[in-house]
Structure 1
Amino acid sequence: MAPERTPVDVVDGRRARRDRSRAAVIDAVFALIQHGKVPPSAEDVAECSGVSVSSIFRMFDGLDDMRQAAFERYEHDYAHLVATEFTDDPTRLDRIDRLVRARLELYEATASVLRFARQRALDHESNAARVGLQRTRLADQVQRCLSDETRQLTPVAAANLVAAVDALTAPEAFDVLSAAHGRTSRQIGAIWRRSLAALVADWCDGVPDEGVST
C-alpha cells in the first residue's frame, strides 16, 4: 500500500513541477533565440516548451520578465567562461590562447543571446544594465589575462591596451568575422591569437603611443 501523501508532499510536488516548467520555458527561450526567432513570443515559447501560454503568464510577470529570467540563466551558466583565471598559464602566448578559447566557447554558445540582449538594451534600462555589466566583466577578463604586461605600463597605456584587446575580441567582432567575412570559429581563433600576440608585443615590448587619453 502506497504511503499517504501529506500536505507538505503535495506542496513540494507542485513546486517541483513548477520549477521543471519554468526551466523548460527558459530553455525554450534560449533555443528560439539561437534559431533566430527574435523576439520569441509567448506562443512560440509555449509550443517549444510544452508549457501552456496561461501557465507561462502565471510563472512570469509578462514577456520581459520571462526574457530577463533567460538572461539570468545565461549569466549563471556561462559565468565561468568570463571569470577565467590565468595563473596556471606560464607564458604570454598561453594566456592569450586561454583568453581566445574562453571567448570562442562563450560566443559559440551564446552569440544569438548576446546579440538579442544588445538589441533589447536600446529600449529597456534593465537590459542595458545587464549588457553594461557583461562588458565590464569581459574587460576585467582581459585585465587578468594581461596583468603581467599592464603592471609594467603607465595607467593610461595599460587601460588603452586592455580596451584594444577587449574590442578586438568583443561579441560584435565575432559577429563581423563570422557573418560578414564567413570565418569559422577555428579561423577566428587563429586570427585573434596572431593579432593579440602582435598587438601586445608591440605595445609592451616596443614603445607604445600614449598620446590617446582614456
Structure 2
Amino acid sequence: MATSSVPSGPVSGPAASPDAVADLLGALAYGSLVAFDRLAADALLAPDLTRRARLAVMAGAEIGNYQRLASRLSSLGVRPASAMEPFQAALDAYHEATAPRDWLEGLVKAYVGDGITDDFYREIAPFLGDGDRELVLEVLHDTEYAEFAVGEIRAAIEADPRVANRLGLWARRLVGEAMTQAQRVAAERDSLVELVVAGTGDLVGVGALFKRLSQGHGERMRVVGLNN
C-alpha cells in the first residue's frame, strides 16, 4: 500500500525469493573476494609498515567473510561461483575505472564505496529470513576501517588543506561510477529489483531508501572533511 510519508528506516517486507537470496549473497561474496584483492593492493601504497600491516589484516578478514557467504550458498544448493558470476563484470568495471593513484585515494575509495554499499545491505537485510539477515549484517565492514580512514584523511587535510578539493572530486567520481554499475546490475537482475521494491513497499519506499543512502553519504563526507 502506498504511503504519503517517508519511512524513517527499513521495514520488514515479504520473504525474499530463493533467487533473490542467492543473488544478494552472490553479490556480497564477490564483493568480499574483490575487497581482499583491493585491500591487499592498497596495502602496498601504505607509507609505512604499520599501515601496510593494518590493511593486510583487514584484507584477511574479507576472505573470512567470503568463506562464510560461500558456505551459505552451498547449503542452499547454489554453486558460489555461479552466484557470483552475474556481478563480476559490473564490479570489475567499477574497480578498473576507479583504481587509486595513491594511499589517500585508496582510503577514500574504501571509505566512500564501502560505506554506501554497507548502508544498502543494511537496508535490504530486514527483507531476508532470520539466518540470512544475520549473516549479511555480520559480514559487513565494522567501524574499524572507517575510523582508520577518517583519521588518515583528516590528518592529511590538516597538513595540506588543498588535499580536500582533490579528494572531494575523487569521491564524487567514485559515487558516479558506482551508480553507473548499480544501474547495470539492476537492469540485468530482476530478482534484486523485485526484492527492493517488495521490501520497501512501493516506489515511494524505494525513493525513501535512496534518500537515506544519500544522507548517509553526505554525513560521511562531512565527518571526513571533504566537499560533497
TM over 0.5: no
Larger helix proportion of the pair: 2
Ranked by relative contact order (alpha carbons within 8 Å, sequence separation 6 or more), the top structure is 2
Greater radius of gyration (CA)? 1
State the TM-score, normalized to the length of structure 1: 0.30
State the TM-score, normalized to the length of structure 2: 0.29
